[in-house]
Amino acid sequence: MRFTIAAFVAAAASLVSATNTITFRNQDSTPKTVIFTANSGFPSVDTIKVDGNGEKKVTIPQGWQGNYFSIAEGSPINPGMLGEVAFQGWNDLTYFDVSAIVDATDVDGIKEIFPVSELMAKTKTAISGCSAFPCNTAYYHPDDIQTVSTKETNLVTTLGGGNVAPSKRDETNLVPRKFVLGQF
């Protein structure tokens, strides 16, 4: 009986505390370094390296809000395209977008962000960013409504080359940027 109760409590706890992850998929042969910047009051996330044509999964703290950018090996450390995310935001949703505000000419950094459930989908409905810039699914101006929301807590971010046909998305799940900034 004790094992059954302990198993029930563990299962219930896992439902309450979702694991947040971002899987980085490098689409070219150049290694990338991903640098995270937490919003004020949130814990830091360690910088990672993703091998050329490689993949790396990072666990993100519960309720974390912040951004990240990638640098190609041998390049100066200058932010380009930003991936912005808020896990367990308003209404317990995950909010994310790809921001081209800092450097819209960055073609080697962050490309797209989408829930892992859409990894194999021919048409991604919850996606931010572009496989080839410029596109109309990235965040270019402070008042753009390009932030995407999802109930999922496992995201994929593509990096670097691999320009393919742009993905289409369902525009009904877009919200103002204040949600990814934690301003509900």
**pLDDT tens string 103-152:** 888 888 999 999 999 988 877 889 999 888 788 888 888 877 889 999 99
What's the average model confidence in pLDDT over 23-48? 97
pLDDT of 17: 59
pLDDT of 79: 93
pLDDT, tens digit, 9 for 90 and up, residues 53-77: 999 999 999 999 999 999 999 999 9
pLDDT of 67: 97
Q: Which of 182, 170, 160, 184 is nearest to 64 (CA)?
A: 182
Alpha-carbon distances, residue 161 vs 29, 31, 51, 111, 170 (angstroms): 9, 11, 13, 9, 24
Higher pLDDT, 58 or 102: 58
- Say what the pTM is: 0.79
What are the tokens at 51? 């091998």
Q: Strands 82-86 and 65-72: what pairing? A: antiparallel
Is it the case that residue 165 has pLDDT exceeding 70?
no
Q: Which of 36, 30, 39 is nearest to 64 (CA)?
A: 39
